[in-house]
Amino acid sequence: MALLSVVLPSYNEEAMIPVTAQTLRQVLSGAGIQYELVFVDDGSRDKTWKEIKTAHEEDPQVHGVRFSRNFGKESAIFAGLANAAGDCVAVMDCDLQHPPETLVEMYHQWEKGFEVVEGVKRSRGRESGAHRKSAGMFYSIMSKAVNADMSRASDFKLLDRKAVDVILEMPEKQAFFRAQSAWIGFQSAQVEFDVQERKAGHSKWNTRSLTKYAFSNIADYSDMPLQMITGVGLTLFVITLIMAAVLIVRLIIGCPATAVMGSVLIEMFIGAVLMIALGIIGYYLARIYREVQARPRYIIATKI
Ligand code: UDP
Ligand code: MG
């Protein structure tokens, strides 16, 4: 019989571990699915690891990997994939915002032969207008970059062993799981779900971390910002030519003061654009530097 591994990245989730472990046990054994749970404690500062150990004592199908410090959700997902034994591996949040019933549906899709089963958000849950807008912009850039609709994508996925092995073999260290699983291709299916309310604990994201996350993932899959620089440069070049022509005409007809002020403004503008351009190049350069350093994505302190 096939084994399903469920990878659960967990950061400060002491309240959720017992609930999630028990819920998944009920739902999966109820559906007659042979499973293992792989909790990845991403350097939690609360009793998450203790709860994982307790869950393991209650159910030997519960496994745990504990990081030496917080490495972030992407690293936790990757470590979970690397430590999963299943014929297929699912990734889901451990706060039950990804409904376990959907997991069963995804498993059945896998049984039908789909190798990448993506959990797709039917609704995005409660979000502010500004959040929705910036998320929309981010996903439209990402969708272009990986050539697949990412607007409703989530980290809730089930992958066949083949797809897992391909992802594990990809050498990049700063990967974005959500895009990676679309980028690798394979026979894929989508299963819709409604994002649930978090049952306990709180979200680890804020505007700053989300913005950082967005930029880092765009840089991973798209070089659009670098190409944008060329576009802006060309536009500025044309504008400068026009302004130069205007300036000459103005000098001839005799109103030098306004012309001088205008040219100072243009210089400042060009200066600012150049700095931004250098910043974008620097951002990619820093990422290349980090890849070249090839530091591990995570460091494991303990395993059960
Ligand atoms: N998470 C993690 N490492 C982190 C931040 C979050 O493993 O540094 C886990 C977290 O425990 C949860 C999942 O990633 O299982 C999603 O996080 P969260 O619920 O905070 O995000 P949201 O659902 O609000 O987008
Ligand atoms: Mg959550």
Query: Which one is predicted more confidently, 52 or 122?
Result: 52
**pLDDT tens digits, one per residue of 39-51:** 999 999 999 999 9
97-101, 232-236, 260-264, 268-272: segment of lowest average pLDDT: 260-264
Q: Quote the pLDDT of residue 51.
A: 95
**Full-model pTM:** 0.78
Ligand sitting nearest the alpha carbon of 12: 1
Q: What is the Cα–Cα distance from 18 to 56, expressed in whole angstroms?
A: 10
| Distance of CA 67 from the midpoint of ligand 1 (Å) | 15
pLDDT exceeding 90 applies to what percent of the chain? 46
| Distance of CA 90 from the midpoint of ligand 1 (Å) | 16
Ligand 1 pocket residue status of 9, Cβ below 6 Å: yes
Ligand sitting nearest the alpha carbon of 135: 1
| Distance of CA 15 from the midpoint of ligand 2 (Å) | 13
**Model confidence at 256: pLDDT above 70:** no
Ligand 1 pocket residue status of 11, Cβ below 6 Å: yes
Q: Quote the pLDDT of residue 259.
A: 61
**pLDDT tens digits, one per residue of 159-184:** 999 999 999 998 888 778 888 888 88
SS3 assignment for 88-114:
EEEECCCCCCCCHHHHHHHHHHHHCCC
With the most atoms of ligand 1 within 8 angstroms of its CB, the residue from 7, 11, 156, 194 to mutate is 11
**pLDDT tens digits, one per residue of 100-139:** 999 999 999 999 999 999 999 887 666 778 888 888 888 8
The residue nearest atom 12 of ligand 1, judged by CA position, is 93
Q: What is the mean pLDDT of residues 7-26?
A: 95
